[in-house]
Structure 1
Amino acid sequence: MSIITKSIASADREARYLNPGELSAIRNFYEGGFSRLRIAVTLTENEQKIVEKASLKFWERCHDTPSNSGNRIYRSSCLRDQGWYIRLITYSIVLQDIEPLAEIGTIGVQEMYNSLEIPLLNLVIAIRCLKEVSLDLFSLEDAAELAPYFDYLIQGLTP
């Protein structure tokens, strides 16, 4: 839920106007909007390149993994999932909120990967590789804004 939705919901529950702190937070959200959109556009436009480079890094680090076994289904599933995480991060960065990552990216995902017998540690390493490759595309300022979303995923998926 974005800062706007949270602020309005809170004020409405209490039958009051938005307070100066909430209005300031909303103003800051709007002022940072162009930066967040620029980051999301860069991730979206480079998703395939990010996934390809990150996968190579991952397979260098994890030689013995189902996605590197020669099985096309495992490999394509791995690439698909990495793209899916990039997409979730773009949602979160635009909203400036981890809710899409929490609701879609971590809750229930651990059980799914465990049921597929995919080690969660491998998934964490894959997300770290995505982070490394993605951050290379950005200035230090934009990378600092983006990195916490990857870190949230890494923490949420660490066994």
Structure 2
Amino acid sequence: MSIITKAIASADREARYLSPGELRTIRDFYNGGENRLRIATTLIENRKEIVERGSLKFWECCPDTPSNSGNRTYRASCLRDQDWYIRLIAYTVIVGDVEPLKDIGIVGVKEMYESLEIPLRNWVECIRCLKEVTLDLLSREDAAEVTPYFDCLIQGMTP
């Protein structure tokens, strides 16, 4: 749920108008929209590089993983999943909220990885590697905007 949707839902539940503080928050959200879209565009345009460099970094740290076993299906699945998470991060940057990560990227996925016997600690390390590569592409200010979303994923999946 975006900041705007949350503010409106809260006011509606209480049968009231938006408060001056809520209106300022919405204004600030709109004012930051151009920056969020620019960051999301950077993620989208660099997703292949992020995934390639992040997976290489991960396989250096964790060489004995199913995705690095020589099995093309495992490798392709790993790269696909990494790309999917970069896409989720881009979504969360745009809406300025961790809800898409929690709703889409953590709850069911954690159970899926466990059922496939993929060690969650490996998955967490992989996301850390993607985070490092991504932050290297961004300015300090943009990196500060993106970091909480990667951290939310890491915390949500840490065993």
- TM-score bin, normalised by smaller chain: over 0.9
Q: Which residue of 2 aligns with 1:29?
A: 29
Q: Which amino acid in 2 is paired with 1:14?
A: E
2:2 corresponds to: 2
The structural deviation recorded for 1:109 is 1.3
Give the counterpart letter for 1:68 in structure 2.
Answer: N
Amino acid at match of 1:100: P
- Once residues 139 and 46 of structure 1 are traced to their aligned partners in structure 2, the CA distance between those partners, rounded to angstroms, is 14
TM-score for both structures, normalised by structure 1: 0.99
Distance 1:43 1:102 in 2: 19
> Distance in 2 between the 1:90 and 1:134 partners?
11
* Unmatched segments (≥5 aa) in structure 2: none
What TM-score, normalized to structure 2? Answer: 0.99
Runs (4+) off by over 2 Å: none
The residue that corresponds to 2:90 in the other structure is: 90
Cα distance, 1:16 vs structure 2: 1.2
Shift of 1:138: 0.7
SS in 2 for 1:152: helix
Aligned match of 2:105: 105
The one-letter code sitting in structure 2 at the alignment partner of 1:7 is A
Structure 2 equivalent of residue 52 of structure 1 = 52
Question: Which residue in 2 is equivalent to 1:19?
Answer: 19
Q: Distance in 2 between matches of 1:139 and 1:88?
A: 20
Letter in 2 for 1:20: P
Q: Which residue of 2 aligns with 1:141?
A: 141
CA separation in 1, counterparts of 2:111 and 2:3?
30
What RMSD over aligned residues (CA atoms) do the two structures have, in Å?
Answer: 0.6
The yes-or-no answer on 1:68 pairing with 2:68 is: yes
Query: What is the number of residues matched between the two proteins?
Result: 159
Tell me the residue number matched to 1:39.
Answer: 39
Partner residue in 2 for 1:116: 116
> Per-residue deviation at 1:10?
1.1
Give, as a single letter, the amino acid of the residue that structure 1 aligns with 2:59: W
Paired AA for residue 155 in structure 2: Q
Partner Cα separation in structure 2 for residue 7 and residue 67 of structure 1: 43
**Identity rate of aligned residues, in percent?**
72
